[in-house]
């Protein structure tokens, strides 16, 4: 039901409908539900089997999110996945989520583009209820290095498998926080696209023993250059990587040579080097040297 503009009134009808008792997934993105509509979800006695709820782009402010803190509510008892991207509820919204007694079973949380900043991350990190998360999407929230520090040190995130920190103004200091973390050892996917990591940050990452379970790493648009490629190529931590994205990193033939000579990045099945300075000859050399298995040749251009 995405993009139908049902509004708060439509949300009321849906949440009261007796025919939706068996519903497990509900997508209401871009429907202008707003704060008024949020109360109906919290008061619903019919959505008892709902596991996945998508409420992105609905004009929900921190006042709407506050409904999740309703005491003694028995609504949404089986909710596992909640997506609230692009609602701009800010730090106060993050605080309400962190204090919610309804979201104790949540395993996936998407807060993309809500500008919760690093103070919002602190609330999530200190939450006594959001302790079962396995997937956390924090794209475009301006969390900075300080926000990364809260994530890296919080036991709430011990079970995380997927962490997306795309476009958060993270520098090499933030990567050092991640690299030193003893909490994030279960991560299998990490997205750091569009930050300010540089070769120095990549070195922290490559030298860390935290990321031995990592399968997918996205470093697009970080200008790690040839030095950063060398750190990745020499890392003994990243031996289980199967997917590596390095688009737009100002990597030249020298960096390609480092990757091609790597004795550790041997499990790659996808390598994204688009928009670098590699050339056709270096591309073919890399494919041969890494025994590349992927049929997606577009990843190299």
What pLDDT does 298 receive?
44
Q: Which residue has the tokens 């990587």?
A: 241
- C-alpha 265/C-alpha 2 separation (Å) is 41
DSSP 214-237: --EEE--SS--HHHHHHHHHH-SS
Contact predicate 174/149, CB 8 Å: yes
Torsion-angle region of residue 208: left (phi > 0), alpha (psi -120 to 50) or beta? beta
Contact 261, 276 (CB under 8 A): no
Beta carbons of 97 and 66 less than 8 angstroms apart: no
**Residue 162, φ and ψ in degrees, nearest 5:** -125, 130
Residue 224 tokens read as 């790690």
Which pair of structure tokens corresponds to residue 78?
């089986």
Indicate if the pLDDT at residue 240 is higher than 90.
yes
**Residue that the structure tokens 């006695």 belong to:** 45
% of the chain with per-residue pLDDT over 90: 82
pLDDT at 286: 65
pLDDT on residue 67: 92
pTM of the model: 0.93
Distance of CA 292 to the CA centre of its chain: 27
Over residues 27-46, the mean pLDDT reads: 93
- Its CATH class, for the domain covering 7-300, is alpha beta
Q: Distance of alpha carbon 87 from its chain centroid, rounded? A: 17
Q: Give the CA distances from residue 106 to residues 82, 125, 145, 163, in Å, rounded to whole numbers and listed in that order.
A: 7, 14, 26, 15
How far is Cα 143 from Cα 146, in angstroms, rounded to an integer?
Answer: 7
Closest among 96, 176, 174 to 129, alpha carbons compared: 96
Angle at the Cα of 87 from the Cα atoms of 82 and 92, rounded to 5 degrees: 85
The answer to whether residue 243 scores a pLDDT higher than 50 is yes
């Amino acid at each position: 039901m995405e993009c139908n503009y049902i509004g708060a009134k439509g949300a009321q009808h849906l949440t009261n409908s007796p025919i939706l008792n068996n519903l497990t997934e509900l997508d209401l993105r871009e429907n202008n539900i707003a704060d008024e509509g949020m109360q109906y979800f919290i008061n619903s006695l019919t959505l008892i089997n709902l596991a996945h709820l998508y409420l992105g782009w609905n004009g929900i402010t921190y006042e709407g999110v506050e409904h999740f803190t309703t005491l003694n509510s028995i609504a949404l008892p089986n909710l596992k996945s909640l997506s609230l991207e692009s609602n701009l509820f800010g730090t106060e919204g993050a605080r309400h989520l962190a204090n919610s007694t309804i979201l104790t079973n949540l395993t996936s949380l998407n807060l993309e583009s809500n500008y919760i900043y690093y103070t919002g991350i602190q609330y999530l990190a200190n939450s006594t209820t959001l302790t079962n998360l396995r997937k956390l999407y924090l794209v475009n929230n301006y969390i900075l290095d300080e926000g990364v520090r809260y994530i890296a040190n919080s036991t709430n995130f011990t079970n995380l498998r997927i962490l997306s920190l795309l476009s958060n103004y993270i520098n090499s200091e933030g990567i050092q926080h991640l690299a030193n973390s003893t909490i994030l050892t279960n991560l299998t996917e990490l997205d750091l696209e569009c930050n300010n990591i540089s070769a120095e940050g990549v070195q922290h990452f490559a030298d860390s023993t935290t990321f031995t379970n990592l399968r997918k790493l996205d470093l697009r648009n970080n200008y790690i250059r040839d030095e950063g490629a060398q750190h990745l190529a020499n890392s003994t931590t990243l031996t289980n990587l199967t997917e590596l994205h390095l688009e737009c990193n100002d990597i030249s033939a020298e960096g390609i040579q480092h990757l091609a000579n790597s004795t550790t990045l041997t499990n790659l099945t996808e390598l994204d080097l688009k928009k670098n300075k590699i050339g056709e000859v270096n591309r073919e050399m890399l494919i041969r040297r890494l025994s590349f298995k992927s049929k997606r040749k577009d990843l190299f251009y």
